[in-house]
A and B are shown apart, each in its own frame.
Chain A
């Protein structure tokens, strides 16, 4: 027995293929939207994976350092290291800022870290780690910076010595890693004009510039340029340590806030990116519904276009099952072509997006099942229409 579906497709293959490709592009857009949603959530989680920390110690009563500003004295790590169960501690600062380079501007998250401590980038895709204690930087590929490029951040020039991949802030801004002391200076010290103005302001204040007390003004001015703050202390715990117990100790005795990885996950995903993620997710739902409707309509109209041929088939005595199978096979075939084209298109255009697009295999499988299900459902409607065709239509027209 010949396959009626294949014969029919071969008969009008151009129409069939182009319908499939069009359908595929629509599915591709839907898959990409799912990828954008996943990427948004993954950006938030990628932040936590960097540096291999188990506990985030921040200013008390804040949700820092990502969701709220937080500042901790940079010598707090010494007392934190004394808590049983803490294996390593690293001071880290974060500052989102615009930096200029040779070809334009880029928005980055400036991360100050201590080489060899929690918070450092775990792997590089090019270049070398930071070896000097100042004026070297490791940039994420997304920033568009290249190796050995010189960039100016506030007062000093930095050289890019290494590149990373997928190291972004929760907002998707690429990270730029610099030594902690430089980052502290960028974050807490002012530009030259502000410094000079601040000095003049203190000099004009009679409380700080008293005759008969030489040295007071200088002492006051020196105390104004203090930068011994960080945003978070990252802790790595010993393998057998209980993270909730260590966090409890820190909260109780060190008067700081400590978050575990689960807490941070909650803060980032549920609080920080919740609204924008839900926005994208709503759009994804609507897009899926629209795509499903369009797929159903295409298959239905395709069947209706073949009313005359189906009538002829009926006239020559084809069984209902044969006709139903033909329509179902065609619908599923269209779905398969559409899915493959869509998935391929989504994979091909995903790297062009400015923000991360994460195409999960699970999403693809779910998408494929959904497409086939919709095609099957749509073909049921079409089959019902086909079976109601009067064989006389073949002659009568």
Chain B
């Protein structure tokens, strides 16, 4: 009987111990939850210190491939297209005939002008003959007048007859002058007719569209038979060696971009490769609507299969700082228009204003002033920080993907 009571007592004690342990465990779990999950828990943060290294600040923009020199060839007057001799992609030489417009009556007008030259030539000959006749008449009249004058001295003829002959000689001489003027006028007529021929031929040449450069036909816009207005392009020719990139850079990041800076170019059509280039021009005029600066970037070595209008990404290296002190960019916060960091001291945070220099594309911000090398600052935090908040430093707030 006593033994049984003893066993019961033992059992009783064991049960009490087990229950107490369970209750303690539950209480500890509850306590841990209250302290670690609730609002009383310190905010989990990751920290970093200032490190030294080389920083390369870059500016990123997107752009399209464009031809620096592209030629839109079209007529100077409204006309109909007669022939188009080239198609898109054809390589053409300078001076090569690309398209022809219908000259309508221009050829006929050239012929007419040529005929006018011939007629003018005939007229010259006729006036020259008339001049020769007049000269001959004048010679005879002059000789007659001189003879009559000698006869008068001997008294064979009347003074009246002498005067009449003198008048005849003068009139014949005037007729010579008139004929000579006719000849000159006829020559002028011929010159004018010749000039007309040249002018008409020039007009006729305008109907021939020839390539101004060695290049490639980038567009054939009109087919034979269509009518085009003055200035409308029939074919477009571009110079394939003049391809470059017209990149748009956000104004907020464009301040350090200068001509000559090295640039990395990635084509959307071939994102695996990366080409080198450099800034060749920074436009004077920004796009005021999109708030972007236009920057032209040229290739160091032009890739073989470029297409005008291709989307490209450019990364312009705008500045390099050797031995710069830097922090992860996620650490730099802006509070009331003041840039700064949350400095951790003894488990609490305080806002520390800093001066920030350049920021690299991979997220490193240069710290110019405001921090010593031993200061620990918050990089990531579980929630927004307030001054004097309690924090707990962890290596990572969430497991990040490799």
Instruction: Using CB atoms and an 8 Å cutoff, list the residues of chain A in contact with chain B.
Output: 10, 13, 17, 49, 75, 87-88, 116, 122-129, 131-135, 141, 146-149, 161-163, 165-166, 181, 211-212, 214, 228, 239, 340-341, 343-344, 347-348, 359, 361
Contact = CB atoms under 8 A, between A and B. Distances in A.
Given A122-B333, A125-B381, A340-B27, A214 B229 contact: yes
Given A133-B249, A361-B38, 7 more contacts: A123-B385, A124-B381, A126-B400, A214-B229, A228-B290, A344-B26, A344-B30
A146 B396 CA distance: 13
28 contacts: A10-B12, A10-B15, A10-B19, A75-B289, A123-B333, A126-B380, A126-B396, A127-B363, A128-B329, A131-B60, A131-B361, A132-B361, A133-B61, A134-B60, A134-B62, A141-B398, A147-B400, A162-B330, A163-B398, A163-B400, A165-B382, A165-B397, A181-B290, A340-B26, A344-B29, A344-B30, A344-B33, A348-B33
Given A10-B16, A116-B252, A125 B384 contact: no
Contacts of A17: 19, 22
B328 interface: yes
Given A87-B337, A122-B384, A212-B229, A129 B329 contact: yes
Interface in B320-351: 328-330, 333-334, 336-337
A361 B40 CA distance: 9
A366 B84 CA distance: 88
Contact of B383 (A87, A149, A166): A166
A133 B30 contact: no
B289 A131 contact: no
A129 B363 contact: yes
B359 interface: yes
A133 B334 CA distance: 19
B401 interface: yes
Interface residues on B, range: 35 or more
A128 B328 contact: yes
B111 interface: no
Nearest to B228: A214
List the 10 closest A-B pairs by CB distance, nearest first.
Answer: A128-B363, A146-B401, A132-B60, A133-B250, A125-B397, A347-B33, A214-B232, A147-B400, A131-B361, A124-B330
B360 interface: yes
B37 interface: yes
A337 B20 CA distance: 13
Contacts of A123: 333, 380-381, 383-385
A19 to B, nearest CB: 14
A126 B227 CA distance: 64
A241 to B, nearest CB: 13
Nearest to B221: A214
Interface of B: 12, 15-16, 19, 22, 26-27, 29-30, 33, 37-40, 60-62, 227, 229, 231-233, 249-250, 252-253, 289-290, 313, 328-330, 333-334, 336-337, 359-363, 379-385, 396-398, 400-401
Contacts of B233: 214
B362 A125 contact: no
Contacts of B379: 124
A19 B341 CA distance: 52
B384 A49 contact: yes
Nearest to B336: A239
Contacts of B26: 340-341, 344
A129 B384 contact: no
B400 A146 contact: yes
Nearest to B57: A131
A121 B18 CA distance: 50
Contacts of B361: 131-132
B15 A13 contact: yes
Given A162-B330, A344-B33, A149 B401 contact: yes
Contacts of B329: 128-129, 131
B15 A131 contact: no
A235 to B, nearest CB: 13
Contacts of A141: 398
A13 B11 CA distance: 13
A88 B337 contact: yes
A126 B397 contact: yes
Contact of A125 (B38, B62, B328, B380): B380
A183 B33 CA distance: 40
Given A13-B15, A165-B382, A214-B232, A125 B398 contact: yes
A239 B361 CA distance: 33
A17 B398 CA distance: 37
A148 B15 contact: no
B37 A361 contact: no
A135 B60 CA distance: 10
A13 B14 CA distance: 13
Nearest to B342: A123
Nearest to B227: A211
B362 A13 contact: no
B330 A129 contact: yes
A128 B383 contact: no
A370 B231 CA distance: 87
Contacts of B38: 359, 361
A141 B382 CA distance: 11
Most buried by B among A212, A347, A359: A347
Given A13-B19, A341-B26, A126 B398 contact: yes
Contacts of A343: 30, 33
A162 B331 CA distance: 12
Tell me which of B61, B336, B380, B396 has the highest count of chain A C-beta atoms within 10 A of its own C-beta: B380
Nearest to A24: B26
B240 to A, nearest CB: 24
A129 B356 CA distance: 15
Contacts of A211: 227
B99 to A, nearest CB: 16
B398 A133 contact: no
Contacts of A13: 15, 19
A147 B396 CA distance: 13
Contacts of A127: 330, 363, 380, 400
B39 A361 contact: yes
B290 to A, nearest CB: 8
Nearest to A115: B252
Contacts of B232: 214
Contact of B289 (A126, A228, A348): A228
Q: Counting chain A CB atoms within 10 Å of each CB, which of B15, B40, B61, B290 scores highest?
A: B290
A124 B12 CA distance: 55
A131 B337 contact: no
Nearest to A157: B271
B362 A131 contact: yes
A240 B384 CA distance: 23
B206 to A, nearest CB: 19
B61 A128 contact: no
A348 B64 CA distance: 54
Contacts of B334: 116
